[in-house]
Chain A
């Protein structure tokens, strides 16, 4: 690690991060299982983490990797709360279908 990343390899890593982020977005929109919906948000975190680490390597600056630690923190907190909510919703209606709670959209 004695030389920063060039522009074009950086763009390649950003491509991977963007593709995984976009796949997470599409999964979040199309899946109807509450657990998989939250799994897709975790996948969006993964895409962002790849971009952060690639920029960290590009700038030879550790702040990008430090931010990934914060992303991991938020992901863990989100997983705990979201799964708690999913279990609560499942106990009410005995289904994981997000459409079962469609009346919340008004």
Chain B
């Protein structure tokens, strides 16, 4: 852990600069320079961390880490485009890309059901609603000049302060994650294949993972049951109240959306 925080801080600062360069603004916008700097900082951080990742034994499930790099780079790059693209429709389409890359990460993590639920619900339902509303607003708005984006899309609000705050949060989060991530490397470098004992959760609660598992009174048995079945069993046996509440929330939001949408507006009647 002696070297890692500085790499994290440097990468955070460079990432913040890269994002600032990529923000849309009036006049000259060095977007390509920002993209290059952002790619360099993220790739440099990953290369820096990869030396320690290679120390892990080949039996641990990091064989899929190459796919992790692909999907993470896709997700992060698309996320940057979502918040920097001056046209709302393109932002929404880049968000679809974020959803797809996230689903890829879920599949690496053996969460197949959540991956496909994510694509169906986010890409299929929520994003269609967003694009629908964007089209609705663009059609009745200033359709005359749809080649140039509106002023409120082209000029960000307080970009420097927001980026500084965001990447400060990111630096703190990464310090905690990788302090915990290097925990067993620092303590027992010869027993990397053992079950991990320190992570962010145990660091915060100061309880080892075996104790947490014993408190839940369970021995994980994951063979012969598919991911969908496991999620369903956990959902219906451990969280029945949450399931009912989720249904109530959906019904209430449906009624609320109807009430809001039916409201008559005086500006509308004038048109």
Contact = CB atoms under 8 A, between A and B. Distances in A.
Given A22-B170, A26-B166, A35 B88 contact: yes
Interface in A37-95: 38-40, 42-43, 46, 49-50, 53-63, 65-66, 68-70, 72-81, 83-88, 90-95
Nearest to A3: B61
A29 B61 contact: no
A13 B109 contact: yes
B182 A7 contact: yes
Contact of B82 (A1, A14, A27): A27
A93 B267 CA distance: 7
A2 interface: yes
B231 to A, nearest CB: 5
B260 A98 contact: no
A2 to B, nearest CB: 7
Contact of B110 (A1, A61, A63, A99): A1
Given A23-B83, A39-B92, A81-B253, A7 B126 contact: no
Interface in B177-195: 177-178, 180-185, 192, 195
Interface in B130-187: 130, 133-134, 136-137, 140-141, 150-153, 155-159, 161-163, 165-167, 169-170, 173-174, 177-178, 180-185
B152 A8 contact: no
Contacts, number: 306
B61 A80 contact: no
A18 B8 CA distance: 13
B192 to A, nearest CB: 7
B109 A7 contact: no
Interface string A7-41: 11111111110111011111101111101101110
Contact of B98 (A46, A62, A77, A95): A46
B234 A7 contact: no
B68 interface: yes
Nearest to A58: B199
Interface residues of B, number: 113
Given A42-B95, A72-B118, A91-B265, A81 B256 contact: yes
A83 B130 contact: yes
B246 A70 contact: yes
A6 interface: yes
B249 A1 contact: no
B200 interface: yes
Contacts of B180: 7, 11
B55 to A, nearest CB: 8
B113 interface: yes
B67 to A, nearest CB: 12
Nearest to B239: A66
A73 B68 CA distance: 26
6 contacts: A23-B76, A38-B130, A40-B83, A56-B109, A73-B246, A81-B257
Interface of A: 1-16, 18-20, 22-27, 29-33, 35-36, 38-40, 42-43, 46, 49-50, 53-63, 65-66, 68-70, 72-81, 83-88, 90-99
Query: What are the nearest 7 A-B pairs in CB distance?
Result: A11-B181, A27-B83, A77-B253, A29-B162, A62-B234, A97-B152, A30-B156
